[in-house]
Amino acid sequence: MDKKVCLITGAGGGIGSSITAKFLEKGYHVIMSDICDDCLEKAIEKHHFEKENVTAMPIDITCEEKVIEGIDKIKEDFGHVDVLVNAAGICGHYDRLIDYPFEDFKKIYEVNVFGTFLMIKSVLPLMMEKGKGAIVNFASVSGMRGYSFEAAYGSSKWAIVGLSENVANEYGGYGIRCNSVSPGWVNTFMMEKTIEEYRRLGIKDPENSITYGSINRAADPKEIADAVYFLASDEASFVNGENLVVDGGMIIK
C-alpha cells in the first residue's frame, strides 16, 4: 500500500475512534484494533468512516499469540506500519490500596502495560525495516499525581511514561520516535465509569467536585487526537521520549 498506515489499539473507544478520524482526515489508512469487535463496527458507523480507508482488526492486546498473528497479517496485507498508537486501556475499579484485590491490580497491568509492551515489541521490526516510525502511548495525569483510589491505574500509566522513554532511547537511532500523552479528564465512557466509581466510594457530587483545571471542563476526545497526531507527525520530528500533558491546565503547579 502506498498510503501511510496507522495502527490504533482501543480504536473502538472514545479517544481511539477520534484518533482514527484525525488520521483519516490526514490521508492515512487506519487499522482499527480493539478487543471489542462490536465497538469497532459501532465506531465506524457512528463516525461514518469510509470502509475502504479503514481495516477493523479485533485483537486482545494481552494475548501474545493474537498480537503476533495480527501483526503478521498486517505485514502481509500492508507491508508497513508508519504509526502505532496504543490507546487501549482500562481503569478497572477504584478502591483503597489495602482493599484492592491483587488479581484486579494485575489485570490493569496486563492491559495497560503488558499489552502496550507486546504491541510495541511486535511492530518495531516493521518500523526498523523501513527505518522510520512513530509510536504514541497513553499515559495519564493520574500516573503523575498519585490520586487516591487509583494505585493500580495510576501506577500502570506512570509505567507507560518510563516505557516510552526506554523505547525512545533504544530506537531513536533507527529513525523511530516514541512519546506518550497524558490526558486529564476526557469525555468518554472511561470518564463516566470513573465518576460512578467515585460515587460508590462515597464522594459527594463527583461530577462537580472533580478538578478540571483552569479551562474548567473535560476535554473533547478530538483535542486529545490532535495532540496524538502532532506527536506522530513530521512536525514533531525532533520530539522523542516526551510525555505531553494534555489536561487543560489541570496539574499546573
Ligand X SMILES: NC(=O)c1ccc[n+]([C@@H]2O[C@H](COP(=O)([O-])OP(=O)(O)OC[C@H]3O[C@@H](n4cnc5c(N)ncnc54)[C@H](O)[C@@H]3O)[C@@H](O)[C@H]2O)c1
Q: Which residues bind ligand X (CB under 6 A)?
A: 9-10, 12-16, 34-36, 39, 60-62, 87-90, 111, 115, 138, 140, 183, 185-186, 188-191
From 153, 171, 198, 229, active-site residue: 153
Smallest gap from residue 127 Cβ to ligand X (A): 20
Smallest gap from residue 246 Cβ to ligand X (A): 9
Task: Return the residue matching grid coordinates 493474537.
Answer: 66
Task: Return the residue matching grid coordinates 457530587.
Answer: 205
Smallest gap from residue 199 Cβ to ligand X (A): 16
**Based on CB atoms, which residue is closest to ligand X, 133 or 248?**
248
For 231, half-sphere exposure in the C-beta direction (CA atoms, 13 angstrom radius) is 31
Smallest gap from residue 89 Cβ to ligand X (A): 2
What DSSP character marks residue 66?
A: H
Smallest gap from residue 115 Cβ to ligand X (A): 5
Whether the CB-CB separation of 110 and 88 falls below 8 Å is answered with: no
Residues 37 and 232: their CA atoms lie apart, in Å, by 26
**Based on CB atoms, which residue is closest to ligand X, 10 or 133?**
10
Region at 72 (left for phi over 0; alpha for psi -120 to 50; beta for the rest): alpha
At 108 the three-state DSSP class reads helix
For 198, half-sphere exposure in the C-beta direction (CA atoms, 13 angstrom radius) is 17
Residue nearest to ligand X (CB): 13
At 183 the three-state DSSP class reads strand
**Based on CB atoms, which residue is closest to ligand X, 100 or 174?**
100
**Based on CB atoms, which residue is closest to ligand X, 14 or 133?**
14
**Based on CB atoms, which residue is closest to ligand X, 185 or 229?**
185
Residues 107 and 92: their CA atoms lie apart, in Å, by 8
Q: Is 153 assigned a catalytic role?
A: yes
Smallest gap from residue 135 Cβ to ligand X (A): 14
Q: Are strands 176-183 and 54-58 parallel, antiparallel or unpaired?
A: unpaired
Task: Output Rg (C-alpha) for the chain, integer angstroms.
Answer: 17
Whether the CB-CB separation of 9 and 85 falls below 8 Å is answered with: yes
As separate numbers, helices (DSSP H) first and strands (DSSP E) second, the chain gives 10, 7
**Based on CB atoms, which residue is closest to ligand X, 31 or 186?**
186
Catalytic residues: 153
